[in-house]
Homo-oligomer: A and B are copies of this chain.
Amino acid sequence: MDPVEIKLITALEDRGLRKTAARSLVTSRIENANDAFTAEQLCRDLPEVGRATVYRTIRHLVDSGALCKLPILDGAPMYSVARVEHHHHTICSKCGAVGEFRHSTVERVMRSLEKEIDGDIVGHRMEIFITCNQCLAKSDTGANSAV
């Protein structure tokens, strides 16, 4: 009874969707991954579920807000379980690991931008590119210190 899995199944049911074997496989796999993933990765991990179904289920989860889709320059978008209501992402530019954070200052900036910007602000997105601690540790050992 993992809270995340419950959330994913609930998200689908809340949209009036049926609970099927294929959808259970997809949602539990996402929950077990506990890291950001691409649609293709999911398809590879679940050969017993059709591609179309994997893509459709992901779309439902994104539409419901249970998953967030983050666009990646040069590559397929990644998906991660939305653990925090409104949040932003950190992306390690070496290994691609995705994290989630929330900081009130970011939201406060939006208010001060309202005067700067022509039009109504309806949303925003922010990504912070980092070198994560794991990758920093690796390069400290001299394995791959070139930047």
Interface set of A (CB-CB < 8 Å, partner B): 69, 71-73, 77, 90, 92-93, 99, 101, 103, 105-106, 109-110, 112-113, 116-133, 135-136
27 contacts between A and B (CB under 8 A): A69-B73, A71-B72, A71-B73, A73-B77, A93-B122, A93-B123, A101-B113, A103-B113, A110-B128, A117-B128, A117-B130, A118-B130, A118-B132, A118-B133, A119-B131, A119-B133, A121-B128, A121-B129, A121-B130, A123-B129, A124-B126, A124-B127, A124-B128, A124-B129, A125-B129, A126-B126, A126-B127
User: In the docked arrangement, what's the CA distance between A92 and B127, Å?
Assistant: 19
Contact A130 B126, beta carbon cutoff 8 Å: no
A100 to chain B, nearest CB (A): 11
Interface of A is mostly: mixed
Known: A71-B73, A129-B124. A109 touches B105 (CB 8 A): yes
A103 to chain B, nearest CB (A): 6
Known: A103-B109, A112-B103, A112-B105. A130 touches B136 (CB 8 A): no
